[in-house]
């Protein structure tokens, strides 16, 4: 441990400022970001806009609001639009919904542009810098803003809160879809503030699952909008979406992807207006098919595949180069997520920016309209996301903000190690090892396996606010993170290798990681714990019934899937038949052999169960059923239940309790750790 540095604590974690996705000025000289600060005492957050110069020499606060987010620079560079909640607690307004605001980059008072009771989100400027598009959840049959506001007021006062549905999808993650409302695209006039529903009089709406600006784009001439739409009036996930082109004035529309046979979404017009790039997946073939890039040739309507032969998934947003010849994006490749560029004449992208050491995790890529400056966020296991700028060819990379520099300089954050182990069938599997500060290989250390969710996700080289490996290591554990079969980043075959047969391959990979670490000689086989959340929680529950007792001294199951039959109450129930290979009524034996509850008679290992009541992805009764089973079986167990949290623990004080309970449970079952007394918070 470097002199004067200390292990990270939970208070350090929540003292760090969190940076939102960037928007870069047209000339590339400035970047606008939302910066969020948390207050542990008041259990609250405050986000405001900051301007950062592209040379990294200047950063200044632009807004003073409580909840300012999603900044978008106007094409002429004169304005920054953003989403704000300025009415809360202020005399001028008692509205709870976020609205569109605009502010000059030179500062001054922000001007409220919209006043819809149904709120606004997902901003995009029209190319003329005179209009702004946004998303609002509205009653589609109502024709005016006045009618929307009146209906909203009546709904708010209505004492009857029952929800009546007759459709397949009606909730998502932690909320029910707004009653009888759809997500529509609007356009607001900058001069007058008047808003118009672009979908009024049509049957169109955006997909309801967290609709954002990534779902639509505006043509360079401002005459057309491309957006993502599901023609199925009652879709059951996974569903097939299309790209629809809508003329702004006439509302004439077309669907160039109608015959693609794939799920197409997130369109992006090229600056010259000749093409629309978009992401596409063959969900009819594979429900977890990786996203690829295709383009629509606007003159002919022809669809052209670009990355179908590249065995990696592409992340949104897609960003065009200024000359319309290339696309920028981030993509996972093995344990990193880096910046890639694809020239239209090629089929294989080129990695142009990778962070130091193992590469980091890049996101939020944006480019100035003059083509000079790329900006993006990059985090790693060793530091939270930071804002970088580079030339369009990836050269001259520099960090351009210093929000957490002083705090990070005081912390003893350890460098992760990436190793390859032999997983199931002897196939190579990647694993991270994060050692405690002041690690001494001559001593015996406790092991903490942390198992990622998904399962089609990845422990890449990234900073995790809710499952922070540095904080676990600071508590004195050797932390292991295995990217088991089914993880993303190693190609489609690896992603799909567990389809319809969950549990045993992933368990074998985790066990191979534990065996690898035991062979080093510095892990104590009598002091090992396994922990996980969501699918990782499923894994530790599955391991409890399928691994010989005593292998691990304790488990931590956060928001874990326990009973695949009862998981039909999940918001994602439509996936289960394809994920497990069958629904329970089609092949009960197949489902049961993948379900932890089927092995309850073999449970023996002490377990901490954590769940949030507002979790609709893995309903809270999954956690209660697992905990109750453990208690009925006489197995030491503890329940931590958050009535005000969802699938994730997001509030500062709840998070502090979560980490405290998590580490204390692991400590209780791995006693005698004289070697790890440093780093306790």
Q: What is the pLDDT of residues 644-680, one digit of tens each?
A: 999 999 999 999 999 999 999 999 999 976 454 433 3
pLDDT tens digits, residue range 195-248?
A: 999 999 999 999 999 999 999 999 999 999 999 999 999 998 888 999 999 999
Beta strands 445-451; 478-483: pairing state: parallel
Give me the pLDDT at residue 237, please.
83
**Angle, CA 137 vertex, CA 143 and CA 114 arms, to 5°:** 75
pLDDT tens digits, residue range 168-183?
A: 999 999 999 998 999 9
Q: Is the pLDDT of residue 94 over 50?
A: no
* pTM for the full predicted model: 0.94
| E strand or H helix at 12 | helix 10-15
d(CA 79, CA 69): 15
pLDDT tens digits, residue range 501-539?
A: 999 999 999 999 999 999 999 999 999 999 999 999 999
Which two tokens mark 404?
């957490």
Query: Given pLDDT bands bounded at 50, 70 and 90, which one contains residue 456?
Result: very high
Give me the pLDDT at residue 291, please.
96
Residue 97 lies in a domain: no
Q: Who contacts 162 (Cβ-Cβ below 8 Å, separation ≥6)?
A: none
Residue 215 lies in a domain: no
Q: Judging by beta carbons within 10 Å of its beta carbon (0-12, 13-18, 19+), is residue 231 exposed, middle or buried?
A: middle
**184 strand-pairing partners:** 136
Give me the pLDDT at residue 239, please.
87
Residue 596 lies in a domain: yes
Give me the pLDDT at residue 662, please.
98
d(CA 648, CA 611): 9
Give me the pLDDT at residue 668, please.
97
Which two tokens mark 25?
């000025």
Q: Is 5 helix (H, G, I), strand (E, B) or coil?
A: coil
Q: Is the pLDDT of residue 2 over 80?
A: no
Average pLDDT, stretch 425-447?
A: 96
Residue 279 lies in a domain: no
| E strand or H helix at 279 | strand 275-281
Give me the pLDDT at residue 92, please.
40
d(CA 138, CA 511): 50
Which two tokens mark 22?
């960037």
Reference 533, options 498, 481, 585; nearest CA is 481
- What is the CB-side half-sphere exposure of residue 517 using CA atoms within 13 A? 29
Q: Is the pLDDT of residue 559 over 90?
A: yes
**Angle, CA 420 vertex, CA 347 and CA 316 arms, to 5°:** 35
Residue 365 lies in a domain: no
**Angle, CA 143 vertex, CA 141 and CA 145 arms, to 5°:** 120
Neighbours of 363 (CB within 10 A): 18
Task: Report the CATH number that the domain containing residue 574 is assigned in CATH.
Answer: 3.40.50.1820
Residue 432 domain boundaries = 414-676
Q: Which residue has the higher pLDDT, 89 or 264?
A: 264
Give me the pLDDT at residue 657, please.
98
**82 strand-pairing partners:** 101
**50 strand-pairing partners:** 33, 61
Residue 397 lies in a domain: no
Q: Is the pLDDT of residue 22 over 60?
A: yes
Query: Given pLDDT bands bounded at 50, 70 and 90, which one contains residue 96?
Result: confident
Q: Which residue has the higher pLDDT, 14 or 284?
A: 14
Mean pLDDT of the residues in the chain: 95
Q: Is the pLDDT of residue 53 over 70?
A: yes
pLDDT tens digits, residue range 314-325?
A: 999 999 999 999
Residue 633 lies in a domain: yes
Task: Report residue 418: phi and psi, to 5°.
Answer: -105, 125
Q: How far apart, in Å, are the Cα atoms of 638 and each of 283, 534, 607, 624?
A: 40, 18, 7, 11
d(CA 338, CA 321): 17
Give me the pLDDT at residue 86, please.
78
- What is the CB-side half-sphere exposure of residue 365 using CA atoms within 13 A? 28
Q: Who contacts 584 (Cβ-Cβ below 8 Å, separation ≥6)?
A: 564, 565, 568, 591, 592
d(CA 565, CA 244): 37
Residue 518 lies in a domain: yes
Q: Report the sign of the C-alpha dihedral through residues 288, 294, 296, 302, in that order.
A: negative
Q: How many domains does the chain have?
A: 1
Give me the pLDDT at residue 505, please.
98
Q: Is the pLDDT of residue 681 over 70?
A: no
Average pLDDT, stretch 577-587?
A: 96
């Amino acid at each position: 441990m470097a002199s004067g540095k200390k292990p990270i604590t939970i208070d350090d974690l929540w003292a760090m400022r969190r940076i939102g996705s960037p928007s870069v000025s047209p000339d590339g000289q400035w970047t606008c970001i939302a910066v969020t600060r948390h207050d542990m005492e008041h259990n609250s957050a405050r986000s405001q806009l900051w301007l950062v110069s592209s040379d990294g020499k200047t950063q200044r606060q632009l807004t003073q609001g409580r909840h300012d987010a999603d900044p978008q620079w106007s094409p002429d560079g004169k304005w920054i639009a953003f989403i704000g909640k300025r009415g809360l607690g202020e005399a001028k307004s008692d509205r709870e919904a976020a609205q569109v605001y605009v502010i000059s980059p030179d500062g001054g008072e922000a001007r409220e542009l919209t006043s819809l009771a149904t709120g606004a989100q997902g901003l995009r400027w029209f190319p003329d810098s005179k209009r702004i598009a946004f998303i609002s959840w509205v009653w589609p049959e109502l024709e005016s803003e006045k009618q929307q506001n009146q209906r909203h007021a009546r709904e708010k006062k209505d004492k009857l809160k029952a929800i009546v549905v007759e459709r397949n999808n009606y909730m998502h993650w932690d909320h029910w879809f707004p009653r009888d409302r759809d997500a529509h695209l609007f356009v607001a006039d900058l001069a007058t503030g008047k808003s118009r529903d672009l979908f009024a009089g049509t049957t169109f709406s955006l997909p309801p699952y967290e609709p954002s600006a990534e779902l639509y784009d505006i043509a360079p001439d401002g005459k057309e909008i491309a957006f993502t739409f599901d023609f199925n009036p009652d879709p059951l996930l996974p569903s097939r979406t299309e790209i629809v082109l809508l003329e702004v004035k006439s509302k004439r529309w077309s669907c160039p992807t109608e015959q693609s046979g794939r799920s197409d979404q997130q369109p992006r017009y090229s600056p010259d207006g000749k093409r629309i790039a978009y992401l596409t997946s063959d969900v009819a073939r594979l429900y977890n098919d990786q996203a690829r890039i295709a383009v629509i040739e606007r003159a002919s309507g022809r669809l052209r595949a670009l990355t179908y032969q590249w065995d990696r998934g592409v992340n949104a947003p897609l960003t065009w180069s200024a000359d319309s010849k290339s696309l920028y994006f981030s993509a996972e490749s093995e344990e990193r997520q880096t910046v890639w560029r694809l020239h239209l004449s090629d089929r294989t992208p080129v990695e142009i920016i990778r962070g130091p050491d193992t590469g980091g995790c890049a996101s939020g890529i944006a480019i100035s309209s003059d083509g000079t400056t790329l900006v993006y966020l990059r985090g790693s296991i060793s530091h939270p996301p930071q804002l970088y700028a580079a030339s369009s060819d990836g050269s001259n990379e520099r960090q351009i903000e210093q929000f957490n520099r002083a705090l990070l300089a005081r912390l003893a954050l350890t460098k992760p190690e990436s190793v390859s182990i032999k997983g199931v069938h002897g196939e190579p599997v990647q694993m991270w090892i994060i050692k405690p500060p002041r690690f001494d290989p001559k001593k015996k250390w406790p092991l903490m396996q942390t198992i990622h969710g998904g399962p089609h996700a990845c422990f890449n080289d990234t900073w995790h606010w809710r499952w922070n490996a540095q904080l676990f290591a600071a508590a004195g554990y050797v932390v292991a993170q295995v990217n088991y079969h089914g993880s993303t980043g190693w190609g489609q075959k690896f992603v799909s290798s567990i389809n319809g047969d969950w549990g045993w391959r992933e368990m074998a990979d985790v066990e191979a990681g534990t065996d690898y670490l035991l062979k080093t000689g510095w892990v104590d086989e009598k002091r090992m714990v396994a922990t996980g959340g969501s699918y990782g929680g499923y894994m530790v529950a599955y391991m409890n019934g399928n691994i010989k007792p005593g292998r691990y001294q304790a488990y931590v199951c956060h928001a874990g899937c326990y009973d695949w039959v009862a998981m039909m109450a999940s918001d994602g129930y439509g996936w289960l038949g394809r994920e497990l290979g069958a629904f329970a009524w089609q092949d009960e034996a197949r489902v049961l052999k993948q379900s932890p509850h089927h092995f309850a008679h073999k449970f023996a290992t002490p377990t901490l169960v954590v769940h949030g009541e507002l979790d609709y992805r893995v309903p809270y009764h999954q956690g209660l059923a697992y905990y109750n089973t453990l208690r009925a079986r006489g197995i030491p167990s503890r329940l931590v239940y958050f009535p005000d949290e969802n699938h994730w623990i997001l509030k500062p004080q709840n998070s502090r309790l979560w980490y405290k309970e998590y580490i204390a449970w692991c400590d209780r079952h791995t006693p005698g750790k004289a070697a790890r007394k440093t780093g306790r918070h």
